[in-house]
Amino acid sequence: MKRTIAVLPGDGIGSEVMAEALRVLKFIAAKFGHEFETKEGTVGGAAFEKFGSHLPSETLELCSASDAILFGSVGGPINEMHKPKWIDCERNSILALRKHFRFAINLRPARIYPDMIGISPLKASVIKKGVDIVIVRELLGDAYFGKHNSFERDGKRVATDESEYTEDQVKTAAHAAFKTARQRSKHLTSVDKANVLTTSRLWRQVVHEVAQDYKDVEVSDMLVDNCAMQLILDPGQFDVIVTSNMFGDILSDAAAALPGSLGLMASASLTEAGFGLYEPPGGSAQDIAGKGIANPIAQILSTALMLRHSFALTAEADAIEAAVESALRAGYRTGDIYDQSEKQDGKRLVGTTEMADAILHELENHCAVKKKEKGSLATV
Ligand code: IPM
Ligand code: MG
C-alpha cells in the first residue's frame, strides 16, 4: 500500500514522541511492504515562530493533499500564556483543524490489561476485571465552537461561551458510537447533563431515536457527574461511552488516568467520510519537553489507530498494540508510569527513545512469531 501522511509534531514533547512513532511506522512499512511517504508541516507555537500563524496555509494544504494526519501536540508553558506565540494557540491550531476538515467524531480508547493493573493508580480490587473503554466524543459542537465573548456590565467583567448542539451533530456522534458498540460488547452509555442543560435534553432524545436503528445494542443514560464518579469507583462497568465535546474532553482525561497516564492514551478524530487526524490527547507537556523522558506510547498507539481507521491495516495496527503491551509487560516504564515501589519486581525506568527501542524489539518478535505461525499453517 502507498500512502501520504502529513506529520505535524507541533510543540513541547511533540517532536520527541513523533520521532519515535515515525521509527515504528518505518519498521511497519518495511516489514509489511508498504510505502508511507511522510511530509512534515508546522503547527501551533512552532508555526507561529516561522510563519506568524498557528495554522499556516502551507500546513492546511499539506493536510488536504495527504491521506491522513499524524498530529503531535500544541500549546505553551503555563507561565508564558500571555506571549503572542501562545495566545489562542490551541483555538487557532487544533480546533481550527478540527473545524476545517469537519472532524466530528473523536475515539479515545483506555485500556488496562488484567495482568498489568500494577500501573493503575486504582486499587487492584477496583480494577480486577481490567478496563477496556472507548470514549466516543462529539468534536464539533458545544461551547468549543459557540460564540466566545467577554465584556463589561455595570463596571464588572463578564465572560460567556455559547454552547450549541444541532440534532445532526448528535446523530453523527450517536451513529459512530452505536457502530463502535456493535463491534464490541454491544453496551453503550450515553453521558449528558439532561437534568440541567437543554443541549443535553436534545442529546438524550436524539441518541434514543438513533438507537432504533441499533436494536442489538443496549443503551443507557448516565449523568456526567455520576459518570466521573463511576469511572473511578467501578470502571469495569463501561464499554463504549458517547458524550458531548466538553464532557468528552474531561471524562477522557479521567479515563486516561485509569491505565496510569495520559501518556498511554491515543485518539482518532474522524470525518463522516473517514478522513482522520491522529493525536495523543495528552497535550504538549512543556514541563518535560526536551528532556528525553516523555512517554512515546500515546503517539505510537495513535499511529496504530491511523493504520486501522484510515488505511484498514488491521494486522499492522494489532502488531503495534501487541508490541506496546509486551514492552509494558516486560517492565519498561517511562517516568509517568513508574512506581518506585515496583523497582524490586524488575521494572525499568527508561527514557523516550529506550521505550520506543523496547517496543521495536517486541514488534520484531511479534512479526517473527506471526511469520512462523503462518509458515506452520502453510505446511499443515
Ligand atoms: C484534547 C485537548 C484539546 C481539547 C485542547 C488542546 C484544545 O485537551 O484534545 O483533549 O480540549 O479538545
Ligand atoms: Mg483534553
Question: Could you write out the three-class secondary structure of 258-303?
Answer: CCCCHHHCCCEEECCCCCEEECCCCCCCHHHCCCCCCCCHHHHHHH
The grid coordinates of residue 13 equal 514533547
Cβ count near 146 (within 10 Å) = 15
The grid coordinates of residue 204 equal 438524550
Contact status, residue 212 vs residue 171, Cβ threshold 8 Å: no
Identical topology for domains 1-106+262-380 and 121-258:
yes
pLDDT given at position 342: 66
How confident is the model over 243-280, as pLDDT tens digits?
Answer: 999 999 999 999 999 988 899 999 999 999 999 999 99
Q: Give the active site residue among 193, 214, 239, 347.
A: 193
Ligand 1 neighbourhood includes 249 CB (under 6 angstroms):
yes
pLDDT given at position 115: 66
Q: Give the integer Cα–Cα distance in Å for 33 and 21.
A: 18
Burial class (CB in 10 A: 0-12, 13-18, 19+), 349: middle
> Per-residue pLDDT for 379 more than 50?
no
Give the closest ligand to the alpha carbon of residue 44: 1
For ligand 1, the distance from its centroid to the CA atom of residue 249, given in whole angstroms, is: 6
CATH topology of domain 1-106+262-380: Isopropylmalate Dehydrogenase (3.40.718)
How confident is the model over 61-112, as pLDDT tens digits?
Answer: 999 999 999 999 999 999 999 999 999 999 999 999 999 999 999 999 999 8
How confident is the model over 22-70, as pLDDT tens digits?
Answer: 999 999 999 999 999 999 999 999 999 999 999 999 999 999 999 999 9
Contacts of 76 (CB under 8 A, 6+ apart): 11, 12, 45, 83, 85, 86, 89, 284, 286
Q: Give the integer Cα–Cα distance in Å for 342 and 57.
A: 48
> Per-residue pLDDT for 380 more than 60?
no
Ligand 1 neighbourhood includes 90 CB (under 6 angstroms):
yes
Atom 1 in ligand 1: which residue has the minimum CA distance? Answer: 281
What are the structural domain ranges in the chain? 1-106+262-380, 121-258
Q: Is residue 278 flagged as an active site residue?
A: no
Atom 12 in ligand 1: which residue has the minimum CA distance? Answer: 249
For ligand 2, the distance from its centroid to the CA atom of residue 246, given in whole angstroms, is: 9
CA gyration radius for the chain? 21
Q: Is residue 193 flagged as an active site residue?
A: yes
> Per-residue pLDDT for 378 more than 60?
no
The values of phi and psi at residue 360, to 5°, are: -65, -40
**Residue with the larger pLDDT of the pair 339 and 203:** 203
CATH topology of domain 121-258: Isopropylmalate Dehydrogenase (3.40.718)
For ligand 1, the distance from its centroid to the CA atom of residue 29, given in whole angstroms, is: 30
pLDDT given at position 90: 96
How far from 151 is each of 48, 84, 146, 148, 155, CA to CA, in Å?
A: 28, 21, 16, 10, 10
Burial class (CB in 10 A: 0-12, 13-18, 19+), 273: exposed
Atom 6 in ligand 1: which residue has the minimum CA distance? Answer: 90
| The residue type at 103 | F
How confident is the model over 212-229, as pLDDT tens digits?
Answer: 999 999 999 999 999 999
Three-state SS letters, 153-222: ECCEEEEEECCECCHHHHHHHHHHHHHHHHCCCCEEEEEECCCCCHHHHHHHHHHHHHHCCCCCCEEEEE
Q: Is residue 357 flagged as an active site residue?
A: no
